[in-house]
Amino acid sequence: MNLIQAILLGIIQGATEFLPISSSGHLVLFQKILGVEEPTLTFDIVVHLGTLVAVFAVFWKDIISLLRRPFQRLTLLLIAGTIPTGIIGIVFKDYFEELFASGRTLGFEFIVTGLVLFFAENLSRGYKDVEETSLLDAAFVGLMQGAAILPAISRSGLTISGALFRNMDRDFAARFSFLLSIPAILGAAVFDMKDVLEVGLENLDSISLGAGFIFAAIFGYISIKYMIGMLKKGKMRVFSYYVFILGTLVLIDQYLIHIFF
Mean pLDDT of the chain: 87
Residue 260 has pLDDT above 60, yes or no: no
- pLDDT level of residue 189 (50, 70, 90 thresholds): confident
Q: How far is CA 3 from CA 6, 7, 51, 204, in A?
A: 5, 6, 19, 10
Looking at residue 130, what is its pLDDT? 94
pTM for the full predicted model: 0.88
Instruction: Name which of 173-177, 216-220, 239-243, 257-261 the model is least confident about.
Output: 257-261
Q: CB–CB of 47/10 below 8 Å?
A: yes
Lowest mean pLDDT among 48-57, 221-230, 252-261: 252-261
Whether 39 shows a pLDDT value over 60: the answer reads no
Query: Model confidence over 9-21: pLDDT tens digits?
Result: 999 999 998 999 8
More confident residue, 187 or 124: 187
Higher-confidence residue of 34 and 168: namely 168
Cα–Cα dist 182/89, whole Å: 15
62-66, 76-80, 116-120, 134-138: least confident range: 116-120
Which pLDDT does position 128 carry in this prediction? 92
At residue 237, the pLDDT reads 85
Cβ-based neighbours of 194, under 8 Å, separated by 6 or more = none
pLDDT at 200: 56
Question: What integer pLDDT is reported at residue 234 of this predicted model?
Answer: 79
Per-residue confidence (pLDDT) for residue 75, from 0 to 100: 96
DSSP state of 57: H
| In the predicted structure, residue 133 carries a pLDDT above the cut 80 | yes
Mean pLDDT confidence for 135-147 = 95
Would you state the pLDDT for residue 199?
A: 59
Distance CA 185, CA 48 (A): 7
Name the band, by pLDDT with cuts 50, 70 and 90, for residue 55.
Answer: very high
How is 124-156 classified by DSSP, letter by letter?
A: PP--B-TTT--HHHHHHHHHHHHHTTSTTS-HH
What tens digit of pLDDT does each residue of 68-111 get? 999 999 999 999 999 999 999 888 877 776 766 666 788 898 99
Rg (CA), the chain: 18
Query: Looking at the predicted structure, is the pLDDT value of residue 112 above 70?
Result: yes
- Kindly report, residue by residue over 192-227, the tens digit of the pLDDT: 777 666 655 556 678 888 999 999 999 999 999 999
